[in-house]
Each structure stands twice: as structure tokens, then as C-alpha cells.
Structure 1
Amino acid sequence: MSIDLTQFESLSFDCYGTLIDWEAGIAAVIGPWARRHNPEMTDEEALVAYSENEAAVLREAPGTLYPDALREAFRRTGDALGYPVTDDEADALGTSVPDWPAFPDSQDALTRLKKHYQLIILSNVNREGFAASNRRLGVEFDEIITAEDVGSYKPNPANFDALATRVEEIGQTGRLLHVAQSLFHDHAPRKAIGVPGVWINRRHDRPGWGATPDPRSDVAVDAEYPSMAAFADAVDEAFSA
């Protein structure tokens, strides 16, 4: 599996799971809640229980702002597990996005990548939520497309159609590479529009899918790296050669 990283001029990124550690952010709220009801439940088990509920909410209510989607996904997770979720607990998750940490390598990797490419965000949150995360990343993106802008959530094809339209407007058609962790949210739909993709496999050293639903099918990627740092290293090496 190889790809010429120097042939591209723009990189589009998923944010949550790729640049921001959304599993840590979600688990910080739902993990303690789950253990209040079942001391044996791990963060991983809570995330797996949560993942399909969030995907269902985003699919069924595409116009819902992400904080409200988080609240509803938490309530559905409670219903599925048989544990109550109070309004305060739902609000704790709904307002938590600004607290979600960046992965330690994200800012440095983005800073290095910006020397070679335009950087685009295609994110499954609202504008306000991404603005808070962007402050943690410390990099100015050239284009930002959120679910709030599109009116739907990945893996809805409309989000990738919006990306393709914007890339065409800025004259980068055919020179875009999509970089993302989620096979479910990102790599399956970006494949459908013919955009090559890099898988940042943040869970390479852990089994299962965590907060990301199982893609339920094989999804082809053009390159795979265990971290943003490893991807940035490969880019630096390619351009130096």
C-alpha cells in the first residue's frame, strides 16, 4: 500500500477521532455515569454502547445541532443499558466538546503539514463546537465545513458532496487527499466520490471500534498510519526526497 504524498495540494480532515480525542472526551462523562450504575463497566464498554446510539441520532435527525445530538444519544444509551440519564448528566455531555482534548501530536503534525498543503476541516459538529476545538489545535485551517453548514452528518453523502463542491470552487479538484480515523463516518463515503484517503488508525493497538460504529464491511484506504505524527513524518520524507 503506497501513495505519492507529493501529488496532492489539499488535505481534508475529520476532526473528532483524528485530531481531537473524542473517545477521551465522551468517556470522561459517560464512564463515571456508567460505573455509578455498574461498577464493572469499563470506559470501552460504555463507548461501544454509546456509539450506535449517536450514529442513529445523527442519521435520524440531521438538522439537530451536535450538542443536542449528544444529549439525545446519551439518553438513548441509558435506555439501552437500563440506567437513567438525568437532564444534568445529558447536559454534561452536550456541553463537553470544548473540553475534549487534542491528541498530543495533532498541533505539531498540522503545523508541519501546512507547509505543504491547504488544510480543510470536514467535521461532524456545529460551528461553535469546532471553534473551541480549533483553539486547542492552534492551526488556521484554509476551509472549514461543519455538519451545521451542510445540514447533515457524516456518513451522509451530502457532507462529502459539500466538500467536493468547495474543493472545486477553490480549484483543487483531483488534488485532494482525505485524512481520517473513522472508516464508518469518513472512508466509506469519501470512497464513493472518488477521493483517495489516508487512515489515521488511532486504535491500532486496541481491538474493537470504541466510539466509532463498526463499518460492517471492508473499506479500502490508500495509506494507513498509526498517528498524525507518523503521517506528518511520511509527508516530510516524501517532500524532502
Structure 2
Amino acid sequence: MTRFDGVRALVFDVFGTVVDWREGVAREAAPFLARHGRHDVDPHAFADAWRARYQPAMEECRSGRRPFTRLDVLHRENLEAVLADLGLDPRRIGEAELDDLNRAWHRLDPWPEAVAGVTRLKRRFTVAPLSNGNIALLTAMAKRAGIPWDAVLGAEVAQAYKPRPEAYLRTAEVLGLRPPELCLVAAHNDDLRAARAAGLVTAFVPRPAEHGTGQTADLTPVEPWDAVARDFQDLAHRLGC
């Protein structure tokens, strides 16, 4: 008997685990930067700079210094800060253009095997995101990419950002499950560590290209997670799907 014998649902970290955020944001940033005369800015570096503000922005909410604020709003604020760092005045760029670039996070492509893998896993388990993304973002992403979630759960469900324990526990509660009946699938060891502390089952799937060719973190599991797989197809095989 394994811990998976009692698991009824798999919930997935999304940014980096299900979708390739770096390539997607860079793809949409390239024409934006060109239109505004910044051919000298590497679109991948732009994506990295935008993403670098992700955790600090959420930490303002986690710490209580700011009320819970959905990720679309935080992304937009972070975008304006990154543009200002580049010497581009957001006030001189149309609201519609800024909003469209901000929705690059809604249009990210899944990793090559992700959709087929989730589809296989869905045969045995309920599948849903457990992401810091908001419901509108995750719904648009799933619709465009064909990710077959059984439910779309955004961070608004928990009113908390990972790795706060509420993010995991309230997700289990909403799905009508006890924590040991829920497994987090993630490419990030720290996310899995927090999920395990909340009582969830854990599955590690590495995404060694998430941060580009120079990635050094999360290449391997750092703890004995309940499952370790090469990708979602391999995870489906290991779980008998």
C-alpha cells in the first residue's frame, strides 16, 4: 500500500510545472519592446525581471502588510515597475497595450507532454490547479491551451498565496477532501515541502528548462517525495493511469 491508494485528486502547481512561463512571456514581450524602441533588451531577460517581482509582491499579501490581491493586479503593477526600470514611462503607453501584455500570463503554452499527461491522470483522479494564479487567468490559460481541468481553482479560493498552509488546506476543503486525499504535483521543492507540511501527498516532476539553460535549482528532488517522475506521462504511468 502506498500513500497514493488514498489519493482522490491531483492538484498542480501551474507556472513552471504545467506551463512554460519564461518562453511565453518573452514571446509576447519581444514585439512590445520593439514597438517602443528597446531592441537592446533581451525578451527573456525582460521575462526574468518581471518574474523576479512575483514573490516579493505576494509576500506583501502573505505578511498582512497588504490585503489579499489577485495575481492579475500584482502582475500589472510589477509590469509597470519593470518598464520604469527600463526607462519606459507606463503613463505614455496606452492602457489597452499594457493590459494586453499583462495578459501574456493568460496565454502561456504548456510543456509538450503536459496536456496529454493531465488527460491520462484524469482517468483516475480529479485534476485541478493549485496555483497562485487567479481564476480568470487560469481559466483563460486552460481554454487556450486545452488543459482539461475538472475544476479551475485560483488563489481567490484560499485567499492566500503559497506556501501559506491555507493555500493547501482550503483547496482540500473546497474539494471536499482531507489533506491526505490530495496530492500536489509540482516542479518546485519548496512548494512540495509546504504541501507536505500541510498533510498533502507530494509528486515531483522536474522542469529543467523553466529558467533557461542556466537553471540550477529544482533539477532534482531534494527530499523523498511520494512520487518522482520525468514528466506527466511518466507520472501517469507510475500511478497506473
> Which of 199, 220, 229 is the matching residue for 2:204?
199
Counterpart of 1:123, as a letter, is S
Gaps in structure 1 of 5+ consecutive residues: none
How far, CA to CA, are the matches of 1:53 and 1:39 in structure 2? Answer: 21
Query: Relative to structure 1, is the Cα distance of residues 42 and 127 closer, same or farther in structure 2, using a 3 angstrom cutoff?
Result: closer
TM-score by length of 2: 0.76
**Residues 28-107 of structure 1 aligned to structure 2 (within 5 Å):** 28-31=27-30, 37=38, 39=40, 41=42, 43=44, 45-61=45-61, 63-79=68-84, 81-84=85-88, 86=90, 87-88=93-94, 90-107=98-115
The CA deviation at 1:220 is 2.7
Superposition CA RMSD, Å: 3.1
Gaps in structure 2 of 5+ consecutive residues: 62-66
Q: Which has the higher contact order (CA 8 A, sep 6+)?
A: 1
**Post-superposition CA distance 1:137-190 (Å, at most 9, x none):** 34241x4321122223222332123124335xx244423221012334x22321
The CA deviation at 1:115 is 1.3
> Which of 110, 117, 124 is the matching residue for 2:118?
110
Task: Give 2:193's aligned residue.
Answer: 188
The CA deviation at 1:112 is 0.8
Q: Is the 8 A contact 1:126 1:148 kept in 2?
A: yes
How far, CA to CA, are the matches of 2:89 and 2:233 in structure 1? Answer: 38
Identity %: 21
Query: Runs of at least 4 residues of structure 1 off by over 6 A?
Result: none
SS of match in other structure, 2:239: helix
**Residues 1-241 of structure 1 aligned to structure 2 (within 5 Å):** 5-31=4-30, 37=38, 39=40, 41=42, 43=44, 45-61=45-61, 63-79=68-84, 81-84=85-88, 86=90, 87-88=93-94, 90-135=98-143, 136-141=145-150, 143-167=151-175, 170-184=176-190, 186-203=191-208, 206-208=213-215, 220=223, 222=225, 223-236=227-240
TM-score by length of 1: 0.76
Counterpart of 1:16, as a letter, is F
The CA deviation at 1:231 is 1.7
Aligned residue pairs total: 223
How far, CA to CA, are the matches of 1:151 and 1:98 in structure 2? Answer: 20
Counterpart of 1:22, as a letter, is W
**Post-superposition CA distance 1:46-87 (Å, at most 9, x none):** 3333332121112224532322211111223344x5442534
**Post-superposition CA distance 1:187-233 (Å, at most 9, x none):** 23213213231122112684326xxxx79xx9535133332222223
Counterpart of 2:53, as a letter, is N
Query: Relative to structure 1, is the Cα distance of residues 40 and 123 closer, same or farther in structure 2, using a 3 angstrom cutoff?
Result: closer
SS of match in other structure, 2:196: helix
Query: Relative to structure 1, is the Cα distance of residues 41 and 146 closer, same or farther in structure 2, using a 3 angstrom cutoff?
Result: same
